[in-house]
Amino acid sequence: MAKRERVMRMSVEQPLWRALTAYRVLTMLYAVGLFATAHDEFVRPWVAVGYYAVLCGWTLATLPRVANAARCTKRFLAADLTVAVAGILLTPVADAHERVQAGGPTLPSIWTAGAVLAFAIKGGWRWAALASTLVAVANLVERGSPARDTVHNVILVCIASVAIGYVVEVARASERTLARALEIEAATRERERLARDIHDSVLQVLAMVQRRGAVIGGEAAELGRMAGEQEVALRTLVSGGLVPLSRVSEDAAEGAVVRAVDDDDEEPEPGGPIDLRALLAPYAGAMVSLAEPGAPVPLAPVAAREVAAAVGAALDNVRRHAGQDARAWILVEDEPDEVIVTVRDDGPGIPAGRLVQAEGEGRLGVALSIRGRLRDLGGSAELISVPGQGTEVELKVPKDANTRGKAEQR
């Protein structure tokens, strides 16, 4: 089956860039509006008109630059801050001295904060502190003295930009942590799925070769011994597992922390639900009795196969631990919201604490081949065993496991 790479974007940073884009346009219009209402008070209005022409052209032309972190380069940030600082320094040239000393607005007005916020979102609080410091120096030069309103505006811009920069850094760190956690979870689920398949096939074959070799003797005994060693090694590997390194990266095109994973091409299951009875029928035999409803028991293909595999694992445990002469019964119940399959045997039962001990030794038949399969489908598996009275395994799977099963198989 063909593989393709699926990218999962997890960015709380992107909305900030969209907000910054809108902020720059609105504050540009605000600055032009302030000039339009007081242009008669300017001593050199043509200087202001020229600056606003540059400001409007620059703001509109650079909107794509503030769309994401990748496009907002250091060169652009430097040029953007230069436009803001130049406007502040040109204010005494264009406006009347009395208005400047009275605390009148600078030519770029609050548009300047947008340039500082771009530094904060792109580089964090340190970049924001640098940009706000340069703006503060320009404002002091423009006024000629540290007036109260100037200091107030400078401190406000500095605190706001540094706070936003710090929040962005924390958000980025959180995204990377979340992506790593999702990667580990996906790797763990894949390891458990492989462990179930290995238990249902390879480990059983190796165990059988070991037992038959010991019975036959000779060279077969040596072959059985080697198979037993490989079984132990494989069980250790399956129970321990290896978690791959995270492939977390930064999506340069979107400015978002992403997690790239290999994903199977989605192919629809052929046909609709299938009858669970058809998958359980091959298990019936001289030592296994199957009791089922007279009507079909429809389940999604993935769910039906997983339930049948879990039943097979339960029967394999019966043969292995209760002996070849043990009898087993399979009961299928079709309830309105779920399907219940019960596997019962007349063996000696399981001693208390044996399942926990088996999991610790890497014998994952019940833990993964049975409970793991049902858990992935949104169902459950309960095991009841009384020494001397056999063992009963009850499997419950919801009928809406169609989409759940597909999701877990990916």
| pLDDT one-digit tens code per residue, 70-124 | 888 999 999 999 999 998 899 888 888 888 777 778 889 889 888 888 898 888 8
Strand boundaries in 219-336, DSSP class E = 248-251, 256-264, 274-275, 288-291, 298-299, 328-334
- Yes or no: say if 153 and 106 are a contact pair by the CB < 8 Å rule: no
Distance CA 200, CA 358 (A): 16
pTM of whole model > 0.85?
no
Q: β-strands 274-275, 298-299: how paired? A: antiparallel
pLDDT at 59: 93
Question: Quick one: pLDDT band at residue 254, thresholds 50, 70, 90?
Answer: very low
**Long-range contacts formed by 300-303: CB under 8 A, 24+ apart:** 300/269, 300/273, 300/401, 300/402, 300/405, 300/406, 301/269, 301/270, 301/271, 301/273, 301/274, 302/269, 302/377, 302/401, 302/402, 302/405, 302/406, 302/409, 303/377, 303/397, 303/401, 303/402, 303/404, 303/405
Question: Quick one: pLDDT band at residue 408, thresholds 50, 70, 90?
Answer: very low
In this predicted model, what pLDDT tens digit does every residue of 198-219 receive, in sequence order?
Answer: 555 666 677 777 777 777 877 7
Which amino acid is residue 55, in one-letter code?
Answer: L
Which amino acid is residue 360, in one-letter code?
Answer: G
In this predicted model, what pLDDT tens digit does every residue of 125-147 receive, in sequence order?
Answer: 888 888 888 888 888 888 776 66
How many residues belong to the chain?
Answer: 410
Question: Quick one: pLDDT band at residue 233, thresholds 50, 70, 90?
Answer: low
pLDDT at 35 over 60: yes
Question: Quick one: pLDDT band at residue 51, thresholds 50, 70, 90?
Answer: very high
